[in-house]
Structure 1
Amino acid sequence: MNRSLAVLLLLVTSVLAGCATHPAPQLRPYTAEETRQLELEALSRRGLSFDEYQQQRAALTRQSSKPIGFDRQGEMNAERSIKLLGRPS
């Protein structure tokens, strides 16, 4: 009798604790930039050779749709290296 009462009490406590917890927050879809960053992080964890890593990283970064060069404020995009003639960069 004592054992069944303890099991019943444990079961009721776990059910009530489960009902009292907040539901999981709504999952939002990842943005394109977040998806790209997650792919690059996963690529760095794969343990590929240097050549394979560079090849796959180049394929991932080519997919980005960021403009190359100057933005509207006249600042250079630092993600791409562009050599200017007559200027050290």
Structure 2
Amino acid sequence: MNRLLAVSLMLVTAVLAGCATHPAPELRPYTEQETRQLALEALSRRGLSFDDYQQQRAALTGQPQKTFGFDHQGEMNAERNVALKDRPS
């Protein structure tokens, strides 16, 4: 009988402790900064191309879109044997 009483007392204690917890923090509204951060995290998981990602990121952050280009100074062709100054190829 003592075991049954001890188990039922523990069960009642666990139920009452669960009912006494505070409401979930997800029920409060998100701030503007949290909303922007969630949108940026979702954007990074979408697997977009670099140009699409930069365009949508600039739209989310409100910053002007940066243009990226290549300067063609660091290109090398693996089929050509080109020796650079002071460096072995």
- TM-score between both structures, scaled by the size of structure 2: 0.45
- TM-score between both structures, scaled by the size of structure 1: 0.45
